[in-house]
């Protein structure tokens, strides 16, 4: 089936849906100029960092406890690669669709905050947001637009203690408040689940697609590559997120 024909078929079925879950990964931000997972700031393309350790070790909870300066060094590099990036057409389309259906949620692995910037309000940023900082002692929490000018590591403006970015580091548990929201929404079920730009290697990212397919819901993947759910979905669009989402919104207008 040609791409536009497949998108039209998706739109016709989506037209009758009341609830939609978007599951997004790094691929959705590629059209904003951000590299995908193995290319963030060039860090994940190499076996080791310039400190001689794997990036997963540098960005781990254990390393943050042992030597927060190393973790902050690479978090700072990741934030700088996201700096000045804005939402693209895919983010904007998802935000606009919140008004089109009774219930729309976005589950994202991204820490770039672009779904919020595009205007989405029902977002489960399961790995956090790099723009939020949290004091490890007093719990003071605040948002910064950029890390430019921040010392490494930064200290709390309230008590001068160690600060961390409010993101999930390797080896850490997912935030329970966000997990609870996700579980509550999955219990209600979704008429359609659309996976965009993620390899779906984490069970909590793949499970919504698997569950929707099991329930007979519409399942769609937008991803140029192959993922863990590519063989499960009803429709697989092997193209970029911005192109696919723009075409889908246009098809919905015609459906």
**Residue tagged active-site, from 91, 116, 127, 131:** 127
Cis peptide before 153 (omega within 30 of 0): yes
- Say whether 235 is catalytic: no
Task: Answer left, alpha or beta for residue 171, where phi above 0 means left and psi between -120 and 50 means alpha.
Answer: left
Q: What is the rounded distance in angstroms from the CA atom of residue 72 to the CA atom of residue 57?
A: 12
Look-up of token digits 């929201």: 181
What residues act catalytically?
Answer: 127
């Amino acid at each position: 089936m040609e791409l536009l024909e497949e998108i039209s078929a998706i739109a016709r079925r989506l037209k009758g849906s009341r609830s939609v879950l978007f599951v997004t990964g790094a691929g959705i931000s590629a059209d904003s100029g951000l590299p995908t997972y193995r290319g963030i700031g060039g860090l994940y393309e190499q076996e080791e960092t310039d400190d001689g350790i794997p990036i997963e070790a540098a960005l781990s909870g254990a390393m943050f406890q042992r030597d927060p300066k190393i973790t902050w060094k690479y978090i700072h590099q990741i934030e700088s690669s996201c700096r000045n990036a804005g939402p693209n057409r895919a983010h904007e389309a998802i935000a606009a669709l919140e008004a089109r259906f009774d219930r729309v949620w976005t589950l994202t692995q991204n820490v770039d905050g672009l779904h919020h910037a595009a205007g989405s309000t029902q977002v489960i940023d399961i790995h956090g947001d790099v723009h939020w900082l949290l004091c490890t002692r007093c719990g003071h929490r605040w948002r910064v637009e950029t890390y430019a000018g921040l010392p490494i590591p930064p200290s709390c403006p309230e008590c001068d203690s160690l600060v961390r970015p409010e993101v999930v580091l390797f080896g850490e548990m997912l935030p329970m408040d966000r997990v609870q929201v996700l579980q509550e929404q999955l219990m209600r079920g979704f008429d359609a689940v659309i996976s965009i730009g993620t390899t779906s290697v984490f069970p909590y990212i793949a499970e919504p697609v698997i569950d929707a397919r099991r329930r007979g819901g519409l399942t769609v993947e937008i991803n140029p590559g192959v993922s863990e759910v590519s063989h499960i979905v009803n429709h697989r669009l092997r193209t970029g997120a911005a192109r696919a989402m723009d075409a889908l919104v246009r098809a919905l207008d015609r459906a």
